[in-house]
Amino acid sequence: SPGLYIVATPIGNLSDLSPRAAQILREADLVLVEDSRVTARLLREAGSTRPMAPYHDHNADRVRPGIVARLAAEAVALVSDAGTPLVSDPGFKLVRDARDAGHAVTTIPGPCAAIAALTLAGLPTDRFLFLGFLPPKAKARLDAIAEVAAVRATLILYESGPRLHATLTALAEGLGDRPAAVAREISKTFEECVDGTLTSLAARYAEAPPKGEIVVVVGPPGDAPRIAAEQVDEALAAALQRLS
């Protein structure tokens, strides 16, 4: 039926495309995409031959009114290159305008790198704050970090390999040395999640920037670093010594 369909797509493993997402991609009158080369592969995988049209930061304002007008009679699906549309990706204004115009808006939930990383990190999940990409410039980045330093929640950030070291260093400076994890290439062949503290992770990634796509997860203030099993005796002995 007509309306806007927000369709989550895999973040690396094509098997994560849900049957319902595939069905919408086969039946939509139009599929709005960030990059047609990326989504062409997905549509093939889903057995879809539906037409694509670009919807990205550079043309969104221009094409949005025309798309909204079509929603009365047509089913339009929005996808991004990977994961959940609208999460550090275009789409929120399209949803807003579609709703304002009284059109049906449906979501087909699925992969999202932020939530996937949160489930890997072993850090508290009861309260979390998603920060997207921090500003690239040093001063703006430190300001953005200072703004959230007192928030009692796990922080989730997107980052690229080349900037990871600078970001971890800035986070350590602005937040103190909190427990943290770097999740990389989630759902792909070389998926890994490295945990430590902000300074130990900054040191680890100082030499060679890691390849692939990255999510940084930072524990809330006051969350004690986890102690490895082999360090427990040592920590107990030290604590007893302090008591005596």
Cα separation, 114 vs 131, in Å, equals 10
Give me the amino acid identity at 16: D
Q: Which of residues 198-227 bind ligand SAM (CB under 6 A)?
A: 213-215
Name the residue number minimizing CB distance to ligand SAM.
Answer: 83
x/- binding map, residues 70-109, to ligand SAM, per CB under 6 A?
----------x-xxx--xxx--------------------
Q: Is 231 helix (H, G, I), strand (E, B) or coil?
A: helix
x/- binding map, residues 154-173, to ligand SAM, per CB under 6 A?
----xxx-------------
The CA dihedral of 10, 19, 31, 43, to the nearest 10 degrees, is: 70
Task: Provide, rounded to whole angstroms, the least separation between the CB of residue 142 and ligand SAM.
Answer: 20
- Kindly tell me which of 74 and 160 has the beta carbon lying closer to ligand SAM: 160
x/- binding map, residues 12-31, to ligand SAM, per CB under 6 A?
x-------------------
Q: Is 7 in the site for ligand SAM (CB under 6 A)?
A: no
One residue of 30, 46, 181, 183 binding ligand SAM per CB under 6 A:
183
Cα separation, 6 vs 35, in Å, equals 16
Burial class (CB in 10 A: 0-12, 13-18, 19+), 145: buried
Which has the closest alpha carbon to 95: 72, 64, 66, 51? 64
**93: enclosing H helix or E strand:** helix 92-100
Chain contacts with ligand SAM (rule: CB under 6 A) = 11-12, 80, 82-84, 87-89, 112-114, 158-160, 183-188, 213-215
